[in-house]
Chain A
Amino acid sequence: GIQVEQSPPDLILQEGANSTLRCNFSDSVNNLQWFHQNPWGQLINLFYIPSGTKQNGRLSATTVATERYSLLYISSSQTTDSGVYFCAVILTGGGNKLTFGTGTQLKVEL
């Protein structure tokens, strides 16, 4: 079946630190998105990035589709970055269903 694994599952950072979150997927993808779910449950769309590299402020993402992984970089982390980060993919041949990864729980401390 479709597998979307994220690592690490949990991460604790001191404010100001940088981090890299990883998303591995089991097959080629047509669509990949990164989300931040805040403590209230809201899903914030960070990047739509089926391939290549994008940057938005302190965040950037890179997807290497041929090697079946994507990375989310958080620089100069802030306490407001805390929450759960999900990648989600539509696998080639998987219809139009967006499948979510296992998630990374991030806590940024002062």
Chain B
Amino acid sequence: GAVVSQHPSWVICKSGTSVKIECRSLDFQATTMFWYRQFPKQSLMLMATSNEGSKATYEQGVEKDKFLINHASLTLSTLTVTSAHPEDSSFYICSAREVGREFYNSPLHFGNGTRLTVT
């Protein structure tokens, strides 16, 4: 159980275009989803917290107008990288917490990630 599906698994786009990444919880509902970014040889850094039905909360230094997050349902959150540039090339991973589970007594479930290359 607790499967998180992320799509696409990889994408190549041209500089200036936008890319949408989907994160779905398949067998549970998630009021909260998290988006992480990982550059080569580095750890995962939290970008934003996505809450169903409300605005996302962005970490310091993350441009909210560039990384648009929508969490329209209890099973789907999307991250759109707008006007992508080569420096946005990275590995993006989403995670989800099951409805009714508290952060202090339950694990986060992660998707398989999306490798974005901007040319």
Q: Which residues of A are at the interface with B, using a C-beta cutoff of 8 A?
A: 30-31, 33, 35, 40-43, 45, 48, 50, 86, 88, 90, 95-103
Contacts and interface: CB of A to CB of B under 8 A. Distances in A.
Contact of A96 (B43, B103, B112): B103
Interface in B34-52: 34, 36, 38, 43-46, 49
Nearest to B93: A43
Q: For this complex, into which size category does the number of interface residues on chain B fall?
A: 20 to 34
A95 B46 CA distance: 13
A28 B34 CA distance: 22
Contacts, number: 56
Interface of B: 32, 34, 36, 38, 43-46, 49, 91, 93, 95, 97, 103-110, 112-113, 115
Contacts of B36: 100
Contacts of B109: 45
- Interface centre among B44, B46, B97, B104, by most chain A C-beta atoms within 10 angstroms, is B44
Given A31-B104, A97-B46, 10 more contacts: A30-B104, A31-B105, A33-B107, A41-B91, A43-B113, A45-B110, A50-B104, A98-B95, A99-B46, A103-B43
